[in-house]
């Protein structure tokens, strides 16, 4: 059985869209937010912690953990605490290119690991504070890294995406399916 060790409804939707059969099991883990770590390392540690917590209980199953962070100038932008922080994040992103890194930890039955990271680059439009506030009136962003969801009115913010858009949503599904097919 495939287990997704993630609370993210977006990750569930992405897997379901591809016709993947899976169950969701989530265990409490502490996410790292060390800005001194390279983006891929920080995301990989968080993804591994999520997968390992579940795989310890389900060693006979394949467990997938994932972590997505938005990075601007190498500094992680997590989930905003409130609307004011969301406005601040989006104003920092406006008119600039940032990276979205998702790390995926795949733990196979017996404990073998197949981990990978995917990075996508996103260019935001130049935005006024009024445009940012309009976007925030349409989309709940307090549970989203970087304070935005590309799949929800993302056209209001995003000018260009270089790479896998599913990665920006939270899971590079095509690459995950390739890894699962190899095993």
| Distance in angstroms (rounded) separating the CA atoms of residues 103 and 50 | 11
Tell me if 57 sits within 8 A of 90, measured CB to CB. no
Question: Is residue 67 among the annotated active site residues?
Answer: yes
Of the candidates 34, 61, 67, 164, the residue annotated as catalytic is 67
Q: Do you know the residue count of the chain?
A: 183
Q: What's the angle, vertex CA 85, arms to CA 73 and CA 11, rounded to 5?
A: 75
| Distance in angstroms (rounded) separating the CA atoms of residues 10 and 171 | 8
Would you name the residues annotated as active-site residues?
67
């Amino acid at each position: 059985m495939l287990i997704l060790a993630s609370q993210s409804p977006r990750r569930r939707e992405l897997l379901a869209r591809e016709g993947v059969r899976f169950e969701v099991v989530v265990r409490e883990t502490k996410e790292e937010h060390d800005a001194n770590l390279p983006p891929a390392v920080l995301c990989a540690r968080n993804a591994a912690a999520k997968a390992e917590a579940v795989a310890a209980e389900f060693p006979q199953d394949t467990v997938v953990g994932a972590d997505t962070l938005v990075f601007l100038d190498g500094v992680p932008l997590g989930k905003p605490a409130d609307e004011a922080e969301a406005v601040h994040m989006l104003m920092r992103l406006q008119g600039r290119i940032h990276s979205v890194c998702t790390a995926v930890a795949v733990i196979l039955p017996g404990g073998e690991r197949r981990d990978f990271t995917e990075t996508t680059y996103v260019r935001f439009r130049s935005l006024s504070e009024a445009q940012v506030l309009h976007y925030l009136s349409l989309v709940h962003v307090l549970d989203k890294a970087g304070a935005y969801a590309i799949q929800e009115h993302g056209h209001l913010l995003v000018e260009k995406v270089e790479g896998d858009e599913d990665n920006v949503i939270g899971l590079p599904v095509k690459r995950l399916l390739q890894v699962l097919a190899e095993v």
